[in-house]
């Protein structure tokens, strides 16, 4: 990972020029994200609360009149992928298997999704640079999609607002890349604002920017990237979605979002003969409630009070939704034992990153404790950095 400060639009424009022999028409940025609270609630029509990281994917782009799409990433130097917009076909990409045609499927999928929505997009030269760690649960895929869509939106005068960009990027990832993700990551990358967490209702994409400035309270939100990603994650994600749908059917609701927290006891009784579905449902219902409680705390200026809610969210992810892993559990345990106010896994789970809310004076102690715990367990050293609530997608040049 490059230092986010070192990376800039001038460099990305220069890299574009090196690859394509011409200057780009512009450079756009879209950030990675962490989710403060609200895990696996987005495909249950529930609430989530992401914030954008300072780490971004930059897209330098220029339109082409000949319908050709040329794609290059600084992360995959040397190879320019060339496609024709008119021939983009999600079925053909799906047949390629593996990660469905490789990294180029993400930006190509965005072009396809815009075209499939009836928008007049044409060819494009695109160069991408990113400081968002990939596969770390920090949404490098959404950053890549949203940066590409932001470029196309302006270069082709599509007039899309940030919510529409998020929806189309999710469609690209679902239908073209073949990843059944919810709407949170793309919305976070497209819509977050600096100094805020985004309180998002994933049912109708209503949103509110909630002021969140840990530094002003003498706090830090640390990201602990475990640098592991367990293979079982992909299949487990589909299973969790299926369990949630089964739970909603059993309870006679459209989505688990429609199960009121106040009815939890009767739900537990109703699902008693299906303990797995019961645990999945209980996670979603309590997690949606925890999002509301975190919002109440932040609205009241009680930032420290969110700590126990984060830790309770982790326990629910670990025990009821069963999407954690030993590395994430160790990160959370070591951080809280060393004095973090709260900690939890963030993102899809089975590896990736945890977050910890820590008093400034305890950052050193908590970081050292996490490093030592990982070393003692024989794990790879984790990567720690502060999450400053940052700006969503924007044009830089």
**Catalytic (active-site) positions:** 185
Q: Which is nearer to Mg ion, 141 or 353 (CB)?
A: 141
Burial label for 367, CB within 10 Å (0-12, 13-18, 19+), is: buried
Based on the shown chain and the rule CB under 6 A, indicate whether residue 324 belongs to the binding site for ligand ADP. Answer: no
48's contact among Mg ion, ligand ADP, none, with CB below 5 to 8 A by partner kind, is: none
Based on the shown chain and the rule CB under 5 A, indicate whether residue 41 belongs to the binding site for Mg ion. Answer: no
53: its two tokens = 């990281």
- Closest contact distance (angstroms) between CB of 7 and ligand ADP is 11
Encoded one letter per residue, x for contact with ligand ADP by CB under 6 A and - for no contact, window 341-370 reads ------------------------------
- Closest contact distance (angstroms) between CB of 139 and ligand ADP is 4
14: its two tokens = 């220069």
Three-class secondary structure of residue 80 per DSSP: coil
291's contact among Mg ion, ligand ADP, none, with CB below 5 to 8 A by partner kind, is: none
Q: Which of 140, 148, 243, 311 is close enough to bind ligand ADP by CB under 6 A? A: 140
DSSP 8-class letter at 304: G
Residues 208 and 101: their CA atoms lie apart, in Å, by 36
- Closest contact distance (angstroms) between CB of 143 and ligand ADP is 7
Which residue's structure tokens are 């999928």? 109
Angle between helices 140-155 and 105-116 (to 10 degrees): 50
Q: Which of 57, 73, 131, 141 is close enough to bind Mg ion by CB under 5 A? A: 141
Q: By the 8 A CB rule, do 362 and 310 touch?
A: no
- Site residues for ligand ADP, 142-171, by CB under 6 A, read 144
Tell which residue, 331, 341, 336, has the closest CA to residue 370.
331
Tell which residue, 40, 388, 363, 394, has the closest CA to residue 197.
388
279: its two tokens = 């645990």
296's contact among Mg ion, ligand ADP, none, with CB below 5 to 8 A by partner kind, is: none
Encoded one letter per residue, x for contact with ligand ADP by CB under 6 A and - for no contact, window 67-106 reads ------x-xx----------------------x---x--x
Spatial neighbors of 14 by CB under 8 A, at least 6 apart, are: none
111: left (phi over 0), alpha (psi -120 to 50) or beta: alpha
Tell which residue, 70, 31, 74, has the closest CA to residue 54.
31
Q: Which is nearer to ligand ADP, 73 or 316 (CB)?
A: 73
Encoded one letter per residue, x for contact with ligand ADP by CB under 6 A and - for no contact, window 183-202 reads --------------------
Which residue's structure tokens are 């509110």? 208
- Closest contact distance (angstroms) between CB of 71 and Mg ion is 18
Based on the shown chain and the rule CB under 6 A, indicate whether residue 130 belongs to the binding site for ligand ADP. Answer: yes
Residues 71 and 54: their CA atoms lie apart, in Å, by 24
Q: Which of 64, 67, 134, 194 is close enough to bind ligand ADP by CB under 6 A? A: 134
Binding residues for ligand ADP (CB under 6 A): 57, 73, 75-76, 99, 103, 106, 128, 130, 134-141, 144
């Amino acid at each position: 990972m490059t230092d986010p400060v070192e990376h800039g639009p001038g460099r990305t424009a220069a890299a574009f020029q090196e690859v394509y022999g011409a200057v780009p028409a512009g450079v756009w940025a879209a950030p990675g994200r962490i989710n403060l609270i609200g895990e696996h609630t987005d495909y249950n029509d529930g609430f989530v609360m992401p914030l954008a990281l300072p780490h971004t994917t930059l897209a330098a782009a220029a339109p082409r009149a000949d319908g050709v799409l040329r794609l290059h990433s600084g992360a995959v130097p040397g190879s320019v992928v060339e496609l024709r917009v008119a021939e983009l076909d999600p079925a053909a990409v799906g047949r390629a298997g593996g990660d469905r045609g490789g990294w180029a499927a993400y930006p190509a999928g965005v072009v396809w999704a815009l075209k499939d929505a009836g928008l007049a997009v044409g060819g494009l030269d695109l160069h991408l640079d990113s400081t968002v760690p990939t596969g770390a649960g920090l949404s490098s895929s959404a950053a890549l999609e949203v940066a590409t869509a932001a470029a196309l939106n302006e270069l082709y005068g599509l007039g899309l607002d940030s919510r529409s960009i998020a929806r189309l990027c999710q469609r690209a990832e679902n239908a073209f890349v073949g990843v059944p993700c919810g709407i949170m990551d793309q919305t976070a990358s497209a819509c977050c604002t600096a100094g805020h967490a985004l309180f998002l209702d994933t049912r109708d994409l209503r949103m509110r920017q909630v002021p969140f400035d840990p530094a002003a309270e003498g706090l830090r939100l640390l990201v602990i990237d475990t640098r592991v990603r367990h293979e079982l994650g992909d299949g487990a994600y589909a299973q969790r979605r299926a369990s949630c749908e089964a739970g909603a059917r059993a309870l006679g609701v459209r989505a688990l979002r429609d199960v009121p927290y106040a009815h939890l006891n009767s739900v537990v009784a109703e699902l008693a003969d299906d303990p797995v579905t019961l645990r999945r449902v209980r996670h979603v219902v309590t997690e949606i409630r925890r999002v509301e409680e975190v919002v109440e705390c932040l609205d009241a200026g009680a930032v420290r009070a969110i700590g126990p809610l984060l830790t309770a969210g982790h326990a629910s992810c670990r025990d009821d939704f069963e999407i954690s892993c030993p590395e994430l559990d160790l990160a959370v345990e070591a951080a809280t034992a060393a004095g973090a106010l709260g900690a939890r896994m963030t993102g899809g789970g089975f590896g990736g990153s945890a977050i910890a809310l820590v008093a400034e004076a305890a950052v050193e102690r908590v970081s050292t404790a996490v490093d030592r715990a990982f070393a003692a367990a024989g794990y790879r050293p984790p990567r720690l950095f502060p999450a400053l609530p940052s700006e969503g997608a924007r044009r830089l040049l």
